[in-house]
Amino acid sequence: MVSRNKPIVKNTVVTAKITDINNLGYGVCRVDGQVCFVAGGVTGDDLSLRIIKVARDYLVARIEEMITPSPFRTERACPVSRRCGGCSFDGVDRAHELELKRGFVVQAFRKEGLSPTVEDVVTDGRIFGYRNKLALPVDGGTVGFYGTHSHEIVENGGVCALSSPLIAGPSEFAASLLARSPIPSLRHVFMRSAEGTGRAMLCLVCGDRSEATLSAAKSLAEKVTAKFGQVSGAVLNVNPEQTNVILGKEYVTLTGDGYLEDELCGLKFRIAPGAFYQVNHDMAQLLYKCAAEKAGLAAGESLLDLFCGAGTVGLSMEADLTGCRLTGVEIVPEAVENARHNAAVNGMDRAEFLCADANSVDVGSFDVIALDPPRKGIAPELVERIAASGNKRLVYISCNPATLARDCKLFASRGYTLGTVTPFDLFPRTGHVETVVLMTRTDAGKG
């Protein structure tokens, strides 16, 4: 162990005990009072570490020697999880993973000076084979996942332990075809599945839609759909932009349907390739049931569903009620078309869906507002408009505890009281946790 009177520099070797794991899967310890992050470290490990990075307020180290392993260690289920970084908790005891995820939520609220009751993490017990969406980056004939903090592809042959069985075979087959016959402008193999109907769809994301690209993409799509009966359609997505956004705005149907149909919460849903849809079907049903119970929507009341996607949250809340008025707001045009179709096919004629930026919309007057924003949360201006509207009940579904806690603090400052926070494990083995909370207006608001 390094002497305390010597500075910590790169390549210094120290011993330390891992005391925590963060949501990126890094073990956390302290070295001479400084926070140190250790890839592969598990709570309770006694380790010999080599410092590989010295930053102003933290250190990064790699494991040199395992002195005493943690009791929370388990065998890794995936041979490439260390390199791809997708499964932050592969190799960590499942019960400890759930304990850590509840801790992430508690810590996020504590950081904002809030201390609501946080329940245990809800899980259905399934760890693998749950994910209904798979996006595999492609470089020539190489298919896999991006490595941690890089754009280097970790080749996996199209196989991921988290993926639904409905897309596991087709994605592996597509990867094998590409290994033999690459599509020059192909960027991603993107797949979605519908657990309620047993269907899947293939989306090939390319940088152009030239005749050569269309021909090659159609050939691959026809081979995949011919071999796997559950693949009901395939589309080409055109994305010429050099950004981190996977999907572009243009779609060309290659074969079969250009959308997917699923059943969720007893309702039928049509989903476009680019529409938001929860990646864990069975856990989404538990999440939406909890959100509906917290909302307490009654017959004849009105609901505003912001960031509504294909309408899943709002329609599931209204499903068993009569005389309700539902208004959904979503910025993705294809998702709005899906939501309108979904309302019609489920006989909900008092639902309307608007294509607009939910952060900028006039919220009007509703009995309940439901929010399910992206990871960045909502704009402060939306908090102000909701508070000014006099809305009494607000149900917030979030995939990011940090931005949820930040936004809840703003709502609390405007007269809302936080209810019990319920975390859901929609993303087993990863560092993500979904959360739902009800906020209730308790006074006239604060200006």
Return the domain boundaries, the chain: 13-73, 103-124+280-441, 133-263
The tokens describing 365, both together, are 């007057």
Rounded alpha-carbon distances, angstroms, from residue 314 to 291, 429, 445: 10, 29, 26
- Is residue 198 a contact partner of residue 166, using CB atoms and an 8 Å limit? yes
Taking the C-alpha atoms of residue 212 and residue 408, their distance in angstroms, rounded to an integer, is: 51
pLDDT tens sequence across 207-248: 999 999 999 999 999 999 999 999 999 999 999 998 888 999
Q: Strands 46-54 and 393-398, how do they pair?
A: unpaired
Sign of CA dihedral 9, 13, 19, 20: positive
> How many helices (DSSP H) and strands (DSSP E) are in the chain?
9, 22
Taking the C-alpha atoms of residue 89 and residue 98, their distance in angstroms, rounded to an integer, is: 10
Taking the C-alpha atoms of residue 13 and residue 51, their distance in angstroms, rounded to an integer, is: 6
pLDDT at 443: 64
Selection from 59, 130, 65, 108 nearest residue 285 by Cα: 130
Taking the C-alpha atoms of residue 338 and residue 382, their distance in angstroms, rounded to an integer, is: 25
Q: Strands 26-31 and 20-21, how do they pair?
A: antiparallel
- Is residue 161 a contact partner of residue 126, using CB atoms and an 8 Å limit? no
Taking the C-alpha atoms of residue 5 and residue 36, their distance in angstroms, rounded to an integer, is: 18
The tokens describing 350, both together, are 């008092």
399 belongs to the catalytic site: yes
User: Quick one: CATH architecture of 13-73?
Assistant: Beta Barrel (2.40)
Q: What are phi and psi of 178, to 5 degrees?
A: -70, -30
SS3 (DSSP) at 107: helix
Looking at CATH, the fold of the domain delimited by 133-263 is given as OB fold (Dihydrolipoamide Acetyltransferase, E2P) (2.40.50)
Residue 366: CB atoms within 10 A of its CB come to 22
226's enclosing H/E stretch is helix 211-227
Taking the C-alpha atoms of residue 358 and residue 145, their distance in angstroms, rounded to an integer, is: 32
CATH 3.40.50.150 fits 103-124+280-441, yes or no: yes
Active-site residue (options: 84, 87, 290, 399): 399
108's enclosing H/E stretch is helix 94-111
133's enclosing H/E stretch is strand 133-139
End-to-end CA distance of the chain: 56
Q: What is the mean pLDDT of each run of 10 residues along the chain (447 residues)?
A: 66 96 95 94 97 96 97 91 85 96 98 98 96 94 86 87 95 95 94 97 96 96 97 96 90 95 96 92 97 96 96 93 92 95 94 95 92 96 93 95 98 96 97 97 61
3-class DSSP string for 267-297? EEEEECCCCCCCCEHHHHHHHHHHHHHHHCC
The tokens describing 25, both together, are 């899967």
pLDDT at 1: 43
pLDDT at 21: 96
The tokens describing 308, both together, are 């509504």
Enumerate the H helices of 346-400 as residue ranges. Answer: 380-389
Taking the C-alpha atoms of residue 346 and residue 317, their distance in angstroms, rounded to an integer, is: 13
Same fold: 13-73 with 133-263 = yes
SS3 (DSSP) at 256: strand
Question: Which residue's structure tokens are 């309700």?
Answer: 324
